[in-house]
């Protein structure tokens, strides 16, 4: 249990997210509220109340350690689910409070939820090599605005990263400073104003899926950087509708990780 004092008038959810930082995801906070695991001035609450100066908040929560458990573990390789409210580095800090010595093997954007791979010992350099050589297949589910011109496609374009603005631009042809990107997608479901896509990330560059789909006119719902903030408002989502839901490992017989060759790790129930 942790006890806090409100220093100003503020919504309970905002107050606790600020206090806990990456250790408390928004979904976990909502679960705490629903389960009445939070007291305000000694009374259990079940809704997101507004705090006033001086109110005491008691939270029956262990700092995020209990909700960190691997979905897959084998010979030094661990796969976890990262929530959409923290960076990969912040989540790594949380993981290492429970499982010491694990190294992050790749990254997801802050607001992209999904599978994140860690490794330790001899497995770590081997897994880094696999991601670098693109032998780990990465699959996503994305809800995009509108309907793509083709129900499935292999997109090949060129990406330029702007470090200062923390964003990228996609071009149809190669230009100075660009790198080639490849993104495959297929339609899963057509909805009223949106389309659910299964996406395979063939190359893995910063913001690739988000920028590539926006480039063809189908930005990801909730993505204000590459999408349309006015259109996003009517969908009332607080995060981009993108989840890294499946990984497939591919290793040669000579690899120390050959025992997980062809192994697939999948999130069975994806919220998107």
Catalytic residue among 37, 41, 109, 228: 109
Tokens of 170: 């996609």
**What pairs with residue 244 in β-bridges?**
114, 140
Q: Is 109 a catalytic residue?
A: yes
Contact 61, 32 (CB under 8 A): yes
How far lies 262's CA from each of 37, 248, 252, 265, in Å? 42, 6, 10, 10
Active-site residue list: 109
């Amino acid at each position: 249990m942790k006890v806090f004092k409100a220093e100003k008038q503020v919504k309970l959810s905002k107050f606790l997210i600020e206090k806990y930082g990456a250790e408390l995801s928004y979904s976990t906070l909502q679960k705490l509220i629903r389960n009445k695991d939070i007291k305000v001035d000694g009374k259990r609450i079940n809704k997101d109340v507004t705090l006033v100066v001086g109110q005491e908040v008691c939270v029956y929560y262990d700092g995020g350690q209990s909700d960190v458990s691997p979905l897959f573990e084998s010979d030094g390789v661990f796969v976890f689910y990262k929530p959409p409210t923290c960076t990969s580095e912040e989540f790594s800090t949380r993981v290492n409070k429970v499982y010491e010595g694990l190294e992050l093997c790749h990254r997801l954007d802050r607001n992209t939820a999904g599978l994140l791979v860690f490794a330790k010992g001899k497995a770590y350099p081997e897994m880094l090599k696999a991601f670098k050589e693109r032998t780990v297949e990465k699959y996503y589910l994305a809800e995009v605005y509108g309907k793509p011109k083709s129900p499935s496609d292999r997109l090949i374009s060129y990406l330029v990263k702007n470090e200062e603005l923390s964003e990228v631009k996609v071009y149809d042809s190669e230009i100075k400073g660009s790198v080639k990107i490849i993104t495959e997608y297929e339609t899963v479901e057509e909805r009223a104003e949106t389309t659910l896509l299964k996406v395979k990330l063939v190359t893995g560059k910063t913001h690739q899926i988000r920028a590539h789909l926006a480039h063809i006119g189908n930005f990801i719902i909730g993505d204000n950087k590459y999408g349309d903030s006015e259109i996003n408002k009517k969908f009332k989502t607080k995060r981009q509708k993108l989840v890294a839901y499946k990984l497939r490992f591919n290793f040669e017989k000579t690899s120390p990780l050959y025992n997980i060759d062809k192994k697939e790790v999948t999130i069975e129930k994806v919220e998107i």
